[in-house]
Structure 1
Amino acid sequence: MTETTLSYLNSLISKYTPSSTYFDAARTHRSGIHARLDWQLGVREMFETGSLKHGTGVWLYSDVDYIVSLKGARPTPTTALNNVRDALKDRYPNTTVRVSRPAVVCEFAKGDETVEVVPAYDAVGGGYWIPDPKSGDWMKSHPKDHNSYVNDANKKHSGAAKKLARLAKTWKYKRSVPVSSCYLEMRAAKYASGEVAWSLPIDIYQYLKNLRDIELAAMNDPTGLGSRFNAYSSDSTKVDSISKLDTAVSRASKAKNYFQAEDHALAIEQFKLLFGQ
């Protein structure tokens, strides 16, 4: 039986969907991280966030992400990151521990069990202050509300938001696009929630074209609670991202046209180029 464009895309989504146990090894480090940070810095709360929590992680690429709300007065973001890094370096001397804003990255098992720890401070009125990767200052974030927003958007079109987000992240990772995963996910949720009809081969193109039309502009927090979402961390990464986005839009456009002409073989060929398969 000839493979259709939609069946190919669904198989790609399935391929890059982590199993229910995929992150279990990385999760085993949670108690040690919590204990060390609580001992040295004081922890109010520690919880999972990011693609793992949202159900949009990508097999072989996504990490376990934690937000750690710390006690005491809020220092500069650089100081907070360095404090967390140094505490975890002391706890795990044989593990690579480094700062990669907005997180401290712990590469357990030589990177096979990577955990990212985002230092945070409670914000008055709700939410958390976390390091802003672009400005170097603090930014206000409401990760629990963002998770609810993605889940609500995903109820439309039989889980379209998370499917689109996973494909967007697969493109990012396979094509080494220096754009924020969180940004891609929130844009995907917003796009899916605004669509009346849904056809994945067409909507991939429309989603990427929209990103290109707005030139990866910062996005207002759709919950109306936190800071804006930035797509990139510097002008140089923007140039690289836009260049790769141009190529992606061109390939997605060709794939869409072939799909609409019912030439599934050529449509799949273009999607394979798009997603680096």
Structure 2
Amino acid sequence: MSETTVGYLNGLLSKYTPSSTSFDKARTHRSGIETRLDAWLGVREMFETGSLKHGTGVWFYSDVDYVVSLKGTRPTPTMSLNNVRDALKDKYPNTTVRVSRPAVVCEFASGDETVEVVPAYIDSVNGGYWIPDPKDSSAWMKSHPKDHNSYVNDANTKHSGAAKKLARLAKTWKYKRNVPISSCYLEMRAAKFAKGVGTWVLPMDLASFFKHLQDIDLAAMNDPTGLGSRFTPCSSESNRQDALSKLDTAVTRSQKAYSAYLDDKHADAISQWKLVFNQ
């Protein structure tokens, strides 16, 4: 029996879904990182966040992400990042440790066990955390990572996990087509989109999601929890234009794929999806 469109997309989801143990080696570095940062800078708490924690990670591409809430007076974002970088460089002299806003990236095992650490300062009055703004080296931005995780989980209860499936496929497109767009932006857009649709048909809604992103011109997104700063799609306008160009191509191909799917031409639909995901 020939492969169906839904079967192909579900197979792609399965292929790029990390196993429960895929990133265990990367997670073994947590204790050493936390101990060193506590000794040098003082740590209130350190917790995992990001794609893997949210259940939207992409096998081979996603990293283990931590937020480290630091004690003391909040310095400039650049100073905070440099302080974390220097502490971890001293701890791991044979590991590449670099700043990639808003995080410090530790490339353990030549990058096979990559860990990203985001320095943060708690807002004890209004809640949430101040983290370095990815777009402005002199600015902090408000983030509520625990609430964002809850929002994605809540959206995912609708349509049997549609939100996380949509987010993972959108991120797979990002990585496979080298699209300079924020994974967090895609995840929150996907969660909001999935939460708003009345029915769920994977080929239809995936194509509709790409079209939705095109229609809104990759606009910045208000925090759907109403708590934090806006989610920006890209780190610069030039990257946004590059992302829009690649999105236009994805929309054209996904619309062709959906039309073929409606005509029961699954081989044609799959060939278009393969172009979307560079398979």
TM interval, short-chain normalised? over 0.9
Q: Given the alignment, which residue of 162, 173, 176 partners 1:174?
A: 176
Which moved further from structure 2: 45-54 or 124-133? 124-133
Residue type at the aligned position of 1:244: K
Q: Percent same amino acid among aligned pairs?
A: 76
- Which residues of 2 match residues 28-47 of structure 1 at below 5 A? 28-47=28-47
Q: Which residue matches 2:217?
A: 215
How many Å separate the matches in 2 of 1:42 and 1:59?
33
Q: Given the alignment, which residue of 146, 149, 155 partners 2:148?
A: 146
- Which residues of 2 match residues 105-120 of structure 1 at below 5 A? 105-120=105-120
Find the residue that maps to 2:19 and give its secondary structure. Answer: coil
Q: Which residue matches 2:96?
A: 96
User: Following TM superposition, by how much is the alpha carbon of 1:205 offset from its aligned partner in structure 2, in angstroms?
Assistant: 1.1
CA-based RMSD: 0.6
User: Following TM superposition, by how much is the alpha carbon of 1:214 offset from its aligned partner in structure 2, in angstroms?
Assistant: 1.0
Q: Which residue matches 2:249?
A: 247
How many Å separate the matches in 2 of 1:267 and 1:177?
22
How many Å separate the matches in 1 of 2:210 and 2:6?
17
User: Following TM superposition, by how much is the alpha carbon of 1:6 offset from its aligned partner in structure 2, in angstroms?
Assistant: 0.2
How many Å separate the matches in 1 of 2:37 and 2:136?
25
Q: Which residue matches 2:133?
A: 132
Q: Which residue matches 2:54?
A: 54
- Deviation above 3 Å: which 4+ runs of structure 1? none
How many Å separate the matches in 1 of 2:181 and 2:136?
15
Residue type at the aligned position of 2:100: S
Q: Which residue matches 1:18?
A: 18
Q: Which residue matches 1:75?
A: 75
User: 1:162-218 deviations in whole A, cap 9, x for unaligned?
Assistant: 000000000000000000000000000000000001111011111111111111111
Q: Which residue matches 1:205?
A: 207
Residue type at the aligned position of 1:141: S
User: Following TM superposition, by how much is the alpha carbon of 1:268 offset from its aligned partner in structure 2, in angstroms?
Assistant: 0.3
User: 1:84-108 deviations in whole A, cap 9, x for unaligned?
Assistant: 0010000000000000011000000
Q: Which residue matches 1:163?
A: 165
How many Å separate the matches in 2 of 1:28 and 1:235?
37
1:186 aligns with 2:188: yes
- TM-score w.r.t. the length of structure 1 is 0.99
How many Å separate the matches in 2 of 1:145 and 1:191?
18
1:121 aligns with 2:121: yes
- TM-score w.r.t. the length of structure 2 is 0.98
How many Å separate the matches in 2 of 1:76 and 1:30?
25
How many Å separate the matches in 2 of 1:117 and 1:273?
34
User: Following TM superposition, by how much is the alpha carbon of 1:146 offset from its aligned partner in structure 2, in angstroms?
Assistant: 0.4
Q: Which residue matches 2:9?
A: 9
How many Å separate the matches in 2 of 1:220 and 1:111?
33
User: Following TM superposition, by how much is the alpha carbon of 1:258 offset from its aligned partner in structure 2, in angstroms?
Assistant: 0.5
User: Following TM superposition, by how much is the alpha carbon of 1:22 offset from its aligned partner in structure 2, in angstroms?
Assistant: 0.3
User: 1:48-86 deviations in whole A, cap 9, x for unaligned?
Assistant: 000011000000000000000000000111111111001
How many Å separate the matches in 1 of 2:163 and 2:241?
27
Structure 1: tracts of 5 or more residues without a match: none
User: Following TM superposition, by how much is the alpha carbon of 1:135 offset from its aligned partner in structure 2, in angstroms?
Assistant: 2.3
